[in-house]
Amino acid sequence: MFKNFWLKIIAVILGFLIWLHVATEKEYSYELKMPVTEIALKDGLTLSKKPPDSLLVAVSATGKQLLRKKWRQSGLRIDASLFDVGRYEINPTTTNTSLQEIASNVTLVNIVLPTTIQLQIDEETSAQISVTPDIEVHADEGYAVNFPVTTAPPHVEIIGPRSLLERFQTVFTEQKKLTGLKNNVIITLQLVPPVGYGISLKPDSVTLSIKVIPVKTRVYENLPVVVFNAPPDQAYFIEPAYITVEVTGPPSDIDLLNRKALTVSIDYKVLNRSGFAPTKIDCPSNFKVKKSSADSVQVILR
- Single pTM value for the model: 0.65
Classify the C-alpha dihedral 293-298-300-301 as positive or negative. Answer: positive
Q: Quote the DSSP letter at residue 269.
A: G
- The domain limits of the chain are 5-115, 124-214, 216-301
What's the CATH code, domain 216-301? 2.170.120.30
Instruction: Please indicate whether the domains covering 124-214 and 216-301 agree at the CATH topology level.
Output: yes
CATH topology of domain 124-214: RNA Polymerase Alpha Subunit; Chain A, domain 2 (2.170.120)
Q: Give residue 4's pLDDT.
A: 67
Is-contact 118 93, C-beta < 8 A?
no
Measure the CA–CA gap between 19 and 22, rounded to whole angstroms: 5
Amino acid at 149: V
**Helix runs in the chain, H state only:** 5-25, 63-67, 70-74, 162-165, 251-254
Is-contact 155 130, C-beta < 8 A?
yes
Query: Residue-wise pLDDT tens for the chain (302 aa)?
Result: 667 666 767 767 777 666 655 555 577 788 889 999 999 999 999 999 999 999 999 988 876 777 777 888 889 999 999 999 999 999 999 999 999 887 777 888 899 999 999 999 999 999 999 999 999 998 888 888 877 899 999 999 999 999 888 889 999 999 999 999 999 999 999 999 898 888 999 999 999 999 988 888 999 999 999 999 999 888 999 999 999 999 988 888 888 899 999 999 999 999 998 999 999 999 988 788 989 999 999 999 88
